[in-house]
Amino acid sequence: MCGHVIQNREGAGLIVGEQGTGKTTIMRRISSLMRSLPEYQVAIVETAEHSPTFFQLVKEIVESFGHECTGRDTQTRVDQLKHFLVDSHRNKKIPVLLIDEAQQLPSKLMESLRGLLNFETPQGGKMLQILLFAMPSINRRLPYAPSFRNRLIKTELEKMSRNDVEKMLRWRFQQAGEGNAFPFTKEATDALFELTKGNPRTVCGIAQMALELSAAREQPITPVIIEQVSERRYV
């Protein structure tokens, strides 16, 4: 979905997920990928609550794109952002704004964000691409920002299946370069999935502690180790 929004200049996308389902991880991955490509310019608003008004938010956006915000009123700041977007389009750059914890945005501020989507290329695409990452509570605010909601392409992150958990564990183990012998027994993976209900953050936290304990004992990770580790970590 994120790639579709950006490549097709759709303008706005929303990624919704419960705590620990990987929203911030996805955002950072997108940022890392785009920063490595010359055609993208990336700005990140880490926590939406730091900019409770449109006046403050535009300043943070301008500065996150690497420019000093010189406007002393909202319209001047919006004009500065528009000039930046026009220059970016002229230079064949795609500005992308990533906003984390977007459920903290007031509905009125979401409607103001919609105004930034009015800046379009001659071909009709949006000059600014906005990706929001939010908890499900944002769904209660969107009805009060109908103009913005109607422009959103929305994706909801689901918890992982048992197979997803095993695939993630194997991938992370390979990336860490810890060796060829996958340390989680089938039974341990089953126990980890049942315990965490597929929440990625909790899976990774318990798996890391289990790896450390199994290394100290020089034995594979078993359901007993998963249970012992879970007693030390809030699930």
Q: In terms of CATH, what superfamily is 2-156?
A: P-loop containing nucleotide triphosphate hydrolases (3.40.50.300)
Q: Judge whether residue 60 has pLDDT over 70.
A: yes
Give me the residue spans of the domains in the chain.
2-156, 162-230
C-alpha to C-alpha distance for 62 and 148, rounded to whole angstroms: 21
Assessment of whether the complete model's pTM goes beyond 0.95: no
Mean pLDDT, range 202-215, rounded to an integer: 91
Average pLDDT, the chain: 90
Nearest to 85 by CA among 74, 73, 97, 75: 97
pLDDT at 178 over 70: no
Closest Cα to residue 62, out of 46, 78, 86, 38? 78
* Residue 113, pLDDT above cutoff 70: yes
Res 93: pLDDT: 94
The pLDDT of 137-157, averaged and rounded, is 92
User: In the structure encoding, which two tokens stand for residue 26, read together?
Assistant: 């996805």
Q: Looking at residues 20-32, what average pLDDT do you find?
A: 90
**Mean pLDDT, residues 183-197 taken together:** 93
Q: Which two tokens stand for residue 172?
A: 């992370």
pLDDT confidence of residue 39: 94
Name the fold adopted by 162-230: Helicase, Ruva Protein; domain 3 (1.10.8)
* Pairing mode, strands 12-16 and 40-45: unpaired
pLDDT band at residue 148 under the 50/70/90 scheme: very high
User: Is residue 234 pLDDT above 60, yes or no?
Assistant: no
The three-state (H, E, C) secondary structure of 142-189, written as one string:
HHHCHHHHCCEEEEECCCCCHHHHHHHHHHHHHHHCCCCCCCECHHHH
Predicted confidence (pLDDT) per residue in 115-134, tens digit = 999 999 888 889 999 999 99
Tell me, what's the pLDDT at 1?
65
User: What is the pLDDT, as a whole number, of residue 149?
Assistant: 92
Instruction: Reply yes or no on whether the pLDDT at 235 is more than 70.
Output: no
Q: Is the pLDDT of residue 174 over 90?
A: no
Amino acid at 70: T
Question: For position 179, what pLDDT does the model report?
Answer: 62
Residue 7 has pLDDT above 80, yes or no: no
Confidence of residue 206 (pLDDT cuts 50, 70, 90): very high
In tens, the pLDDT along 80-93 reads: 999 999 999 999 99
Give how far the C-alpha of residue 224 lies from the chain's centroid of Cα atoms, to the nearest Å.
Answer: 34
Lookup: tokens for 231:
């007693």
Residues whose CB is less than 8 angstroms from the CB of residue 51 and which lie 6 or more positions away in sequence, other chains included: 45, 57, 59, 60
Q: Which residues contact 58 (CB under 8 A, 6 or more apart)?
A: 69, 71, 74, 77, 78, 81
